[in-house]
Structure 1
Amino acid sequence: MSTLAFTGTSRQWLTRLHRWSGLFLLAFLLVAGITGGILSFRWEIDKAINPHLFSVAPHAESMSYKALADVVEQRFPEAIVSNVVIPKTSQDAAIVYIKSRMDAHAVHIHVPGMKSSVEFNQIFVNPHSGEILGQRSTTRFVPSWENFVPDIARLHLSLFLDEVGAWLMGVCAVVWFLTTFIGLVLTWPGSWRSPSSWKPLMSLRMNHGSYKLNYDLHRTINLIVLPILVVVAFTSIYLNLPGMVRPVVGTFSPLFDSAVVPSAGHMDLASPRVPVEQVIATARETLPGARVHSVGRDFLKGLYSVRMQLPDDVSPTGNNTIFVRMTDGQVVFQRKAQNASGGDVFAAWQYPLHTGSAFGLIGQCLILLGAIALLIMCVMGFNVWLRKRRSERQHSFRRQISAGEELG
């Protein structure tokens, strides 16, 4: 075994800290690992178990988006369409998001895991016929196959505890991030510049009992997947505790604030509006070569927001938004990735890095690998602690017996 960099009292304290923080995080890491592994391929899994929601028979013509919104709002009169995800192909369903009409002019600050005021908020519609294919909630627990992926996402993000759960998961992510580095410090060899000093740390003692094998597996797997775990842990902190992280980022580089988007004034739900098709055409003229991902409607500001994706965008939903006035179809603000500050670029990378989507299929596989490795490390680490605890208790018991015999 190579000589370690940290020995003596400092190592003892770091070992205790790593051990007890790991025990504190055990349940969190098991939940995060299982759900995170599933979510690394969330859309592939969702489409596989719910093909009736996502796929439609191809057709040459599609309904207008106004007609599509009218179909949804007539079917659900208590709701208003807030966002439409544009189908990529003629075989894809349109995904329509709704919210309560009472909330149409309310100011909402997004909080991870926050419940919607409507029973369900995601509607799947055939864009050719207007047929409602199904509906589900992305913010409420519903035990069904249709809601399987949204339920897993909420469990992963907030443990079904809404704002409190999101905050708790964020705090756990902070502890996880720190204890990951403590584990690295405990493993760090004294002669770390020499490749030979790392070889014993990456090997498994197969013939030295299950305790040492468990310990070696825990250490070796951590070294192999360390970059993945560090990235996932840090992005978890950002995504769950944006109110704490964004101000820190903002001290180094400015971040986009939606308040800078000029308001066109409150828009009454019954007032005439520019057709969505015209808004999409305007957005495409403004940002040539970009694919329209979705169109949102903000009645509080009287604006359409067109989310657009360029080939170089890191986000699968695009990093560009064109804001268009509802009354006359004029562009009032453009948020383009090419003009983004360093802080905005940093923020834009967080979710794609966390899910692996930033690097396509390879990135998703790496996140899945990290999730599996994390689960194995949890089991191995707990087994090491359990065996160590049993050994210490047996040793203490023998000392007590020995002391009793001496007194006798």
Structure 2
Amino acid sequence: MTFKKAVGKLHLWLGLSSGLVVFIVSLTGAIFTFQDEIRDATQSWRKVEVPAQPTPMLLPSRLQALTEQQHPGLKAAFFMLMGPDRSAVVYTTDKQGHYFATALNPYTGQELGHLDLREDFFSIIQELHMHLLLPEEIGGNVVGVAVLIFVVMLVTGIIMWWPKRKTDRKRSFTIKWGARWRRVNYDLHNVLGFYAASIALLLALTGLMMSYEWVLNSVYLVSNGGQSYPAEKTPPTVDTLQTVTAPTLPVADSFYQQIRRGSPTAKMIFLGLPTSPKQPVYSIAYERALYYYHRDEYYFHPVSGQLLKSIPHVSKSNGQKIADVNYDLHTGQAFGLGGKIVAFLGSLISASLPVTGFMVWWGKRNKPKKKRSREAVAAA
């Protein structure tokens, strides 16, 4: 068996074993790419009108009180404060641990929208993309293994596609639209797969960084030239033996005001709330709304509200900055609208590859036998 035939067998069986998962993950990834744009177009409550006269935004404790008063039985878990022209979102949980999102006007406290995230379309798409709607540990591993296989298939596909002779290159780079459907399907699989390979590989690798800590740590170490910086990766501990007193204002407001002082230009804030007196409260200040790269990170004491540790973006290593930009790379938004379009098309083509590949295999298995020639019949 030649090397290319062995690669072809590997490509075939890996494709048959992972094709359905790759199709689902790629298609849901394409849908999720423009989730912010689609939400803005269909959910008017995501944006608010900025008051003509300077008006201070309501403090988190007030937003929390209004939400919990309006929805008895729900308890605030964290906030997303999206900026001056966007609603403030309070995320809550019920006793069963189900999440809800309540959007409020940050200036008046008026409730603008309320979502049960179990029924939210893009939340379902995200869960399908990441876990196939299975339990997180099981679904995450199934998706992770399928994406690992997909990376191998991209490499083996390029090896199989690579033309032997220079004269074959033009044919290998173009789709012969006027040919029979089997040939068109073959070209769609090979040619589109080649053109999308680099984008698909980037999407797959950034997805693996979310699925597997060992992939994230490997990228981190390579980006830092083998150096590790534990200070930026290790959260502080809470000294439970130390006697502390609660701040004079609610802890959420204390966290928020300290973040505002530390990151005065931040447009979006993820604000956590205490879950245990033994665990620090984690919060993030983002330089731009709906972009997750440029971030300052904060850890607070859950009782006293004291700042335990801050990690400004400017102090982070190259490896940590790459880890921070991973989501924006995965969705294409690191490069703006053009990047999202490229990620969308790359995801669609990735979703098509298992389909066209299966049709190539099925067509070869069910290829009609050639009719015997007249000479063979005459000789019989």
- Give the TM bin, normalised by the shorter chain: 0.7 to 0.9
| Aligned pairs for 1:2-401 within 5 A | 9-52=2-45, 54-59=46-51, 60=53, 61=55, 62-90=57-85, 92-99=86-93, 117-138=96-117, 140=118, 142=119, 147-163=120-136, 164-190=138-164, 198-242=169-213, 244-249=214-219, 252-254=226-228, 259-263=234-238, 265=240, 274-275=249-250, 276-300=252-276, 301=278, 303-310=280-287, 315-316=291-292, 318-325=294-301, 329-391=305-367, 394=369
**1:292 and 1:208 mapped to 2: Cα distance?**
53
**1:183 and 1:314 mapped to 2: Cα distance?**
35
Work out whether residues 60 and 256 of structure 2, in 8 Å CA contact, stay in contact via their aligned partners in 1.
no
Per the TM alignment, residue 197 of structure 1 is displaced from its structure 2 partner at its CA by 6.0
Runs (5+) with no aligned partner, structure 2: none
SS of the aligned residue for 1:260 comes to coil
1:341-363 CA distance string (max 9 Å, x none): 34323322322211112112111
**1:369 and 1:19 mapped to 2: Cα distance?**
24
Question: TM-score scaled by structure 1?
Answer: 0.77
Per the TM alignment, residue 27 of structure 1 is displaced from its structure 2 partner at its CA by 1.5
Amino acid at match of 2:285: M
**1:216 and 1:260 mapped to 2: Cα distance?**
51
The CA RMSD measured in Å over matched residues stands at 3.3
CA gap of 1:80–1:272, structure 2 versus 1, over 3 A, is: farther
1:171-196 CA distance string (max 9 Å, x none): 100001111110011122346xx7x7
SS of the aligned residue for 2:27 comes to helix
**1:124 and 1:388 mapped to 2: Cα distance?**
55
Runs of 4+ in 1 over 6 A off after TM superposition: none
Work out whether residues 298 and 310 of structure 2, in 8 Å CA contact, stay in contact via their aligned partners in 1.
yes
CA gap of 1:341–1:304, structure 2 versus 1, over 3 A, is: same
Per the TM alignment, residue 133 of structure 1 is displaced from its structure 2 partner at its CA by 3.1
Work out whether residues 89 and 104 of structure 2, in 8 Å CA contact, stay in contact via their aligned partners in 1.
yes
SS of the aligned residue for 2:271 comes to strand
Per the TM alignment, residue 370 of structure 1 is displaced from its structure 2 partner at its CA by 0.6
Question: TM-score scaled by structure 2?
Answer: 0.82
Per the TM alignment, residue 326 of structure 1 is displaced from its structure 2 partner at its CA by 5.4
Runs (5+) with no aligned partner, structure 1: 1-7, 103-116
CA gap of 1:85–1:318, structure 2 versus 1, over 3 A, is: farther
